[in-house]
Amino acid sequence: MSQHVTQDQLTAVAQISDAPVQTHVNRSFELPAGLFGITVACYLGFLALMSVLFMNGELAIPMAAFVIAIVGGFGLGWKWVAMRPDNDSATLTMGQFANRGIETLSGRLTAAEASTQVLILPVLLLAWGVAIAVIYAVVGH
């Protein structure tokens, strides 16, 4: 529930300083860039498979929009991690990730467990696309 805080109450607890406050921000989610690359490859692979199977002139613009959204979304995240000077953290290498794992709200995960959680949706989506392609090939068009 919200409540009104007066200026006097705020002044009583505020710490006033002339120096700017520097906060440490880790924008990498502690995951290596390779996992994001595999995710993008699975999403784009699904779109490519659907384009090859069902492409016609009417689907060109939606497919292009999907590709732009995927590349733009992950590209923005990549640039966000690379921002300087406030960000001194970098994505983990695959070796660091394999050695350390990551800490989540539900506890520590090994690299295999975290990779499974991150890649389950993109890999299943690509597998679904392959299943559609097999059905399409067997049933015919």
Which pLDDT value is given to residue 141? 65
Which pLDDT value is given to residue 77? 85
Which pLDDT value is given to residue 88? 66
Please list the ranges in the chain whose pLDDT falls under 50.
none
State how far the alpha carbon of 56 is from the alpha carbons of 50, 53, 69, 73, 83, in Å: 11, 9, 20, 26, 40
In the numeric block, which tokens belong to residue 109?
Answer: 């995960």
Which pLDDT value is given to residue 84? 67
Query: Which one-letter amino acid corresponds to residue 38?
Result: I
Which pLDDT value is given to residue 87? 64
Of 25, 32, 118, 43, the residue nearest 80 (C-alpha): 25
Which pLDDT value is given to residue 23? 67
Which pLDDT value is given to residue 85? 64
Which pLDDT value is given to residue 86? 64
- pTM of the predicted structure, to 2 decimals: 0.77
Which pLDDT value is given to residue 13? 82
